[in-house]
């Protein structure tokens, strides 16, 4: 097991804490010895065991089981959504509901591994910049681990549910008068200059290692098979890479035959990766002043842009952007046709799927899995804003009857 730079290919020993390549400052990836992972898996037992993040222990780069910090993340439902499939125009549609995690987003899968590594590397404090969910999750996992937690957020831009979580779990919350991209630059500097503070943004290569279990679980829940395509919302772009990596490792160990076409969706006001994919560009050009009501993907300068491009291009996937209006429409459709409540960023994957089907980019016969990343209650104010207000009456029975048109 070692770090490998995705640009220059240099390798580094995993016993030291690194965030980016010491030679060229590019992104690092964790590579496992997949032959030895394969030997550790008893296929019959593997098929019987129920899905959870730590079921895939041989694939997860932590040293000692006794140090693992877990709140029983993962094992989220993969709903088969026939009514929504019909509405969108595909034959087979599955929705992976990541709102079912302990703090209500997929970030918990990354934090179980990331906070465990913080303990292994002897950190006293963990830190992140966050649009909300990363801070909710880090606050909870650091509380469980007995570590102090610092979070930098864009002032006034964090959804209520996320703020409530970070606050109650006891994080030191610093709200800056700027956006997420600036918060990330500041926290990266803090962690580079202070060895005792461990950085847990998704530039940290261990977080995607936990998040790759989304790919493992989708395959597992389909009977160790791959869908044709996986659709994911993209913000900082660690997750699309992580899910790709999960399928890649399952293929390399002979568990599945194919890697799905990775398809990333961004909001129109924050779509630098979509622009790069459409232009066939090698680099992601940041968007200034990103804007969207989907705050979890309101990111103009995604650190993991290069990894997203690799995941999309290696699998012949694609990327598309959607408007806030399309996001809200998809959020309601999912809530009202399937009973699945998600925050706006999550609904981007459904909106993007619909758009790509309408454009003829995705064929009706494809078997599609859409990842919905966070719970409806993360952003309750948005949910109330976009829904019909309650009907107010005096407390009379007759008024109820007339209101119901009976």
Ligand X SMILES: *Cc1c(COP(=O)(O)O)cnc(C)c1O
Binding residues: 133, 235-239, 373
Residue with Cβ nearer ligand X (37 or 113):
113
**What are the helix (H) ranges across 152-271?**
160-168, 180-193, 206-211, 213-221, 238-252
Which does residue 285 bind out of ligand X, Zn ion, none, counting CB within 5 to 8 angstroms by kind?
A: none
Q: H-helix or E-strand containing 154?
A: strand 148-154
233 binds ligand X (CB under 6 A): yes
Task: Select from 204, 226, 236, 271 the one that contacts ligand X (CB under 6 A).
Answer: 236
221 is a site residue for ligand X (CB under 6 A): no
- Whose tokens are 């395959």? That residue is 219
Between residues 1 and 168, which has the closer beta carbon with respect to Zn ion? 1
What does 311 bind: Zn ion, ligand X, none (CB cut-off 5 to 8 Å by kind)?
Answer: none
Number of residues forming the site for ligand X (CB under 6 A) = 18
Which of 53, 101, 116, 133 forms a contact with ligand X (CB under 6 A)?
A: 133
DSSP summary character for residue 297: G
Residue 253 is encoded by which pair of tokens? Answer: 């160990």
Show the tokens assigned to 382: 């948005």
Name the binder of 265 from Zn ion, ligand X, none, CB < 5-8 A by kind. none
Question: Among residues 10 and 26, whose Cβ is nearest to ligand X?
Answer: 26
Interface stretch with ligand X, choices 84-92, 148-156, 311-319, 338-346 (CB under 6 A): 338-346
Nearer to Zn ion, 303 or 356 (CB): 303
Given the structure tokens 């599955």, which residue do they identify? Answer: 94
Q: Tell the smallest beta-carbon distance from residue 325 to ligand X (Å).
A: 18
Q: Which is nearer to ligand X, 137 or 253 (CB)?
A: 137
Tell me if 21 sits within 8 A of 306, measured CB to CB: no
State the minimum distance, in angstroms, from the CB of residue 307 to Zn ion.
14
Enter the DSSP assignment of 268: G
Rounded Cα–Cα distance for residues 73 and 110 (Å): 10
Contact (CB, 8 A) for 337 and 88: no
CA 309 to chain CA centroid, nearest Å: 16
For ligand X, the closer CB: 51 or 237: 237
CB of 234 to ligand X, least distance (A): 4
- Residue 296 binding partner per list ligand X, Zn ion, none, with a CB distance cut-off of 5 to 8 Å that depends on partner kind: ligand X
Give the whole-angstrom CA distance, residue 360 versus residue 123. Answer: 50
Nearest approach in angstroms of CB 49 to ligand X is: 27
What's the closest the beta carbon of residue 294 comes to ligand X, in angstroms? Answer: 8
Residues near Zn ion (CB under 5 A): 5, 7-8, 10, 21, 23-24, 26
Annotated binding-site members for pyridoxal 5'-phosphate: 133, 235-239, 373
Collapsing DSSP states into helix, strand and coil, what is residue 130? Answer: coil
Tell me the closest approach of the beta carbon of residue 269 to Zn ion, in angstroms: 32
CA-wise closest residue to 218 among 30, 82, 74: 74
CA–CA separation, 116 vs 169, rounded Å?
A: 18
Mask for 372-401, x = binds ligand X (CB under 6 A): -xx---------------------------
Q: Which residues contact 158 (CB under 8 A, 6 or more apart)?
A: 130, 131, 132, 135, 175, 295
Give the Å distances, CA to CA, from 382 to 24, 98, 108, 232, 326: 42, 19, 23, 21, 14
127 vs 284 by CB, closer to Zn ion: 284
Q: How far apart are CA 188 and CA 296, in angstroms?
A: 19
Nearest to Zn ion of 14, 214 (CB atom): 14
* 396 phi/psi in degrees, rounded to 5: -120, 135
Write the DSSP symbol of residue 11.
E
> Which among 254, 190, 255 has a CA at the least distance from the CA of 223?
255
Tell me which of 55, 96, 107, 245 binds ligand X, using CB under 6 A: 107
Select the binding partner of residue 197 from Zn ion, ligand X, none (C-beta < 5 to 8 A, by kind): none
Which spans of this chain sit near ligand X (rule: CB under 6 A)? Answer: 105, 107, 133, 202, 233-239, 296-297, 343, 345-346, 373-374
């Amino acid at each position: 097991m070692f770090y490998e730079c995705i640009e220059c290919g240099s390798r580094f020993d995993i016993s030291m804490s690194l965030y980016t390549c010491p030679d060229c400052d590019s992104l690092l990836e964790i590579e496992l010895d997949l032959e030895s992972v394969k030997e550790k898996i008893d296929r019959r037992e593997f098929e019987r065991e129920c899905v959870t993040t730590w079921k895939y222990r041989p694939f997860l780069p932590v040293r000692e089981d006794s140090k693992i910090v877990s709140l029983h993340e993962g094992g989220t439902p993969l709903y088969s959504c026939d009514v929504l499939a019909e509405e969108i125009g595909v034959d087979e549609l599955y929705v992976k509901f990541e709102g079912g995690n302990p703090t209500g987003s997929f970030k918990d899968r990354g934090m179980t591994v990331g906070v465990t590594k913080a303990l292994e590397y002897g950190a006293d404090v963990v830190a992140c910049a966050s649009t909300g969910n990363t801070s909710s999750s880090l606050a909870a996992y650091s509380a469980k681990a007995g570590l102090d937690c610092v979070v930098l957020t864009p002032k006034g831009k964090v959804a209520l549910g996320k703020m409530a979580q970070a606050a109650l779990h006891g994080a030191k919350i610093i709200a800056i008068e700027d956006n997420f991209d600036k918060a990330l630059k500041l926290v990266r500097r803090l962690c580079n200059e202070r060895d005792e503070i461990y950085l847990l943004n998704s530039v940290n290569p261990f977080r995607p290692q936990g998040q790759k279990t989304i790919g493992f679980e989708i395959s597992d829940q389909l009977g160790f098979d791959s869908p044709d395509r996986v659709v994911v919302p993209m913000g900082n772009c660690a997750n699309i890479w992580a899910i790709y990596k999960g399928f890649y490792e399952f293929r390399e160990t002979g568990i599945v035959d194919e890697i799905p076409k990775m398809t990333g969706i961004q909001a129109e006001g924050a779509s630098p990766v979509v622009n790069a994919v459409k232009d066939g560009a090698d680099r992601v050009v940041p968007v200034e002043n990103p804007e969207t009501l989907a705050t979890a993907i309101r990111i103009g300068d995604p650190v993991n842009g290069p990894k997203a491009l690799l995941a999309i291009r290696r699998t012949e996937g694609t990327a598309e952007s959607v408007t806030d209006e399309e996001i809200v429409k998809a959020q309601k459709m999912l809530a009202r046709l399937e009973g699945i409540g998600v925050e706006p960023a999550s609904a981007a994957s459904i909106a993007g799927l619909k758009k790509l089907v309408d454009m003829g980019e995705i064929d009706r016969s494809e078997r599609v899995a859409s990842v919905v990343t966070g719970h409806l209650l993360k952003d309750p104010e948005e949910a109330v804003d976009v829904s019909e207000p309650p009907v107010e009456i005096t407390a009379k029975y007759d008024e109820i009857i007339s209101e119901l048109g009976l």
